[in-house]
């Protein structure tokens, strides 16, 4: 009887193991060790929560389906504190601890601090939010893949869009770091090419809380619209612009301004504001529909633009593991380079010249939809309008 009980327990254990989400082959293969570097604290913490939520969701989803290439996905996390130095330290610790498939940072300044160390750390990095052109120009690296739209891609779209933009004079309010300066320069070039003018450009230091001095200058400029590229300070600016009656009298145009976290934090201040958007649940592809359905089932809400972009980066990373049949960072990025992969945007190609994912781009307007204010796509621009890879990129 005792012997029978032992056998029965062994058989029960076999059945239990077979019923677990991860197959035996997944348990036997080397796992996919992902290092999530996110802004748990600091100026980008509001977006950081969305990034972390989406990456965790992607990992849980992959493991529930048996892993990636038959491998369990293991996630470790580090706080970049919204600064380049802390981001570099967090990424290095994760990479040296074996979680060397990195993902997560928001500002381009942190991404730039990470990419230059990838070879030294034997790591790879999937960029999902950072837009600075430098990342796929003179700072490009074979081990870095960008799965979101670059500034150059956004501005190529906006250059087409501004042809129908009302007004002849514009002011610029941008964050005083690499992404903000790139955005301001590109927007100014786009509108002046249309014979329009930019009489005022203001660059705001990171961590600014009081926007009153800038708002007074913007009001005095009496322009037709204001180009805003200040993600970290966007909440304070929008609230104070409404309080000082700058808006809606003077319309805003947003570069990464019509983001869900900004809209939710500013009441109706951004209602009817147009701008580029990286992702919305309106994107009509099979992969996006499946993602939205799964997300709603778990969280009882729609995914945000930041969450969609972060999740998209994770599924591209997982596709790289499948293509490479390896978790070695160099092999994963090499397999993705030039590859056509299934994404939230449909089938998309990772351009071999600079490791930039090429996908459609979108202009949205903040409207009431699905019972909430959110960015709603007004125009879709094909991937073909993306500018050529920078000649400064040397892979």
pLDDT: which is higher, 23 or 184: 184
Q: Based on the domain organization, do 254 and 222 belong to the same domain?
A: yes
Q: Based on the domain organization, do 142 and 158 belong to the same domain?
A: no
Classify residue 45: in a domain, yes or no. Answer: yes
CA 215 to chain centre: 28
| pLDDT at residue 231 is higher than 90 | no
Q: Based on the domain organization, do 159 and 240 belong to the same domain?
A: yes
Q: Based on the domain organization, do 254 and 312 belong to the same domain?
A: no
pTM score, two decimals?
0.86
Contacts of 366 (CB under 8 A, 6+ apart): 258, 263, 270, 271, 272, 273, 274, 373, 374, 375, 376
| pLDDT at residue 2 is higher than 80 | no
Instruction: Report CA Rg, the chain.
Output: 22
Q: Based on the domain organization, do 208 and 306 belong to the same domain?
A: no
Q: How far is CA 128 from CA 105, 152, 231, in A?
A: 8, 15, 15
- DSSP assignment of 102-154 equals EE---SHHHHHHHHTTHHHHT-EEEESS---GGGGTTT--TTEEE-S--HHHH
Per-residue pLDDT at 151? 87
HSE of 330 in the Cβ direction (CA atoms, 13 Å)? 5
**What pLDDT band is residue 271 in, cutting at 50, 70 and 90?**
very high
pLDDT: which is higher, 5 or 245: 245
CATH of the domain at 79: 3.40.50.2300
**What pLDDT band is residue 1 in, cutting at 50, 70 and 90?**
very low
Per-residue pLDDT at 4? 35
Q: Based on the domain organization, do 226 and 201 belong to the same domain?
A: yes
Is the link from the previous residue into 240 a cis peptide, with omega within 30 of 0? no
pLDDT: which is higher, 131 or 335: 335
Q: Based on the domain organization, do 192 and 44 belong to the same domain?
A: no
| pLDDT at residue 222 is higher than 60 | yes
| pLDDT at residue 3 is higher than 80 | no
User: Which residues on neighbouring strands pair with residue 80, listed in sequence order?
Assistant: none
Classify residue 2: in a domain, yes or no. Answer: no
Classify residue 314: in a domain, yes or no. Answer: yes
Whole-number Å distance between alpha carbons of 7 and 19? 19
pLDDT, tens only, 292-328: 999 999 999 999 999 999 999 999 999 999 999 999 9
pLDDT, tens only, 27-77: 579 999 999 999 999 989 989 999 999 999 999 999 999 999 999 999 999
- Name the average pLDDT for the chain: 91
Per-residue pLDDT at 94? 98
Classify residue 366: in a domain, yes or no. Answer: no
pLDDT over 90 for what percent of the chain? 80
pLDDT, tens only, 363-376: 999 999 988 999 99
Domain boundary residue, one of 277, 296, 313: 277
| pLDDT at residue 97 is higher than 90 | yes
| pLDDT at residue 214 is higher than 80 | yes
- Mean pLDDT is lowest, of 198-212, 251-265, 352-366, 377-391, for 251-265
Whole-number Å distance between alpha carbons of 170 and 181? 16
| Number of domains the chain contains | 2
Angle between helices 45-64 and 305-324 (to 10 degrees): 40
**What pLDDT band is residue 16 in, cutting at 50, 70 and 90?**
very low
Q: Based on the domain organization, do 163 and 144 belong to the same domain?
A: no
Q: Based on the domain organization, do 188 and 270 belong to the same domain?
A: yes
Sheet bearing 124-127, strands edge to edge? 73-79, 32-38, 101-103, 124-127, 144-146, 356-358, 346-351, 340-343
Q: Based on the domain organization, do 108 and 42 belong to the same domain?
A: yes
Q: Token digits for 72? A: 């369990």
Whole-number Å distance between alpha carbons of 211 and 184? 18
Contacts of 168 (CB under 8 A, 6+ apart): 195, 196, 197, 224
Per-residue pLDDT at 60? 98
Classify residue 383: in a domain, yes or no. Answer: no
Whole-number Å distance between alpha carbons of 21 and 14? 14
Q: Based on the domain organization, do 228 and 301 belong to the same domain?
A: no
pLDDT, tens only, 150-180: 989 998 998 888 888 889 999 999 999 888 8
pLDDT: which is higher, 309 or 132: 309
Classify residue 287: in a domain, yes or no. Answer: yes
Classify residue 388: in a domain, yes or no. Answer: no
Classify residue 391: in a domain, yes or no. Answer: no
Say how many Å lie between the first and final Cα of the chain, rounded. 68
pLDDT, tens only, 373-395: 999 999 999 999 999 999 999 98
Per-residue pLDDT at 255? 85
Per-residue pLDDT at 27? 58
Q: Based on the domain organization, do 247 and 265 belong to the same domain?
A: yes
Domain that holds residue 239: 153-277
């Amino acid at each position: 009887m005792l012997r029978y009980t032992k056998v029965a327990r062994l058989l029960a254990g076999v059945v239990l193991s077979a019923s677990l989400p991860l197959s035996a082959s997944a348990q036997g293969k080397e796992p996919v060790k992902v290092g999530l570097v996110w802004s748990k604290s600091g100026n980008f913490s509001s977006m950081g929560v969305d990034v972390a939520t989406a990456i965790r969701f992607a990992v849980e989803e992959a493991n529930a389906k048996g892993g990636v290439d038959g491998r369990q996905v293991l996630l470790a996390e580090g706080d970049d504190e919204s600064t380049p130095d802390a981001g570099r330290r967090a990424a290095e610790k994760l990479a040296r601890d074996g979680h060397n498939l990195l993902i997560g940072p928001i500002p381009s300044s942190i991404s730039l601090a990470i990419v230059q160390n990838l070879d030294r750390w034997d790591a790879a990095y999937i960029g999902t939010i950072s837009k600075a052109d430098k990342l796929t120009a003179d700072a490009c690296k074979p081990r870095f893949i960008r799965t979101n739209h670059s500034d150059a891609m956004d501005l190529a779209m906006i250059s087409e869009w501004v042809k129908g933009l009302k007004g002849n004079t514009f002011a610029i309010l941008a964050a005083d770091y690499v992404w903000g300066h790139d955005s301001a320069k590109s927007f100014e070039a786009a509108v002046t090419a249309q014979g329009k003018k930019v009489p005022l450009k203001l660059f705001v230091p990171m961590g600014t809380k009081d926007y009153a001095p800038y708002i007074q200058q913007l009001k005095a400029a009496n322009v037709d619209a204001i180009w805003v590229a200040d993600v970290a300070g966007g909440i304070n600016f929008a609230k104070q612009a409404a309080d000082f009656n700058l808006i809606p009298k003077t319309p805003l145009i947003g570069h990464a301004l019509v983001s869900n976290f900004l809209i939710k934090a500013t009441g109706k201040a951004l209602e009817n504001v147009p701008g580029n958007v990286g992702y919305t649940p309106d994107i009509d592809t099979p992969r996006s529909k499946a993602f939205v359905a799964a997300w709603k089932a778990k969280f009882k809400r729609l995914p945000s633009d930041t969450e969609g972009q972060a999740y998209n980066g994770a599924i591209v990373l997982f596709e790289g593991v499948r293509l490479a049949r390896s978790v070695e960072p160099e092999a994963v990025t090499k397999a993705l380079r030039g590859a056509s992969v299934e994404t939230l945007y449909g089938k998309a190609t990772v351009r071999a010249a600079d490791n930039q994912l090429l996908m459609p781009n979108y202009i949205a307007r903040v409207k009431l939809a699905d019972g909430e204010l959110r960015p709603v796509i007004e125009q879709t621009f094909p991937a073909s309008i993306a500018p050529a890879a920078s000649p400064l990129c040397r892979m």
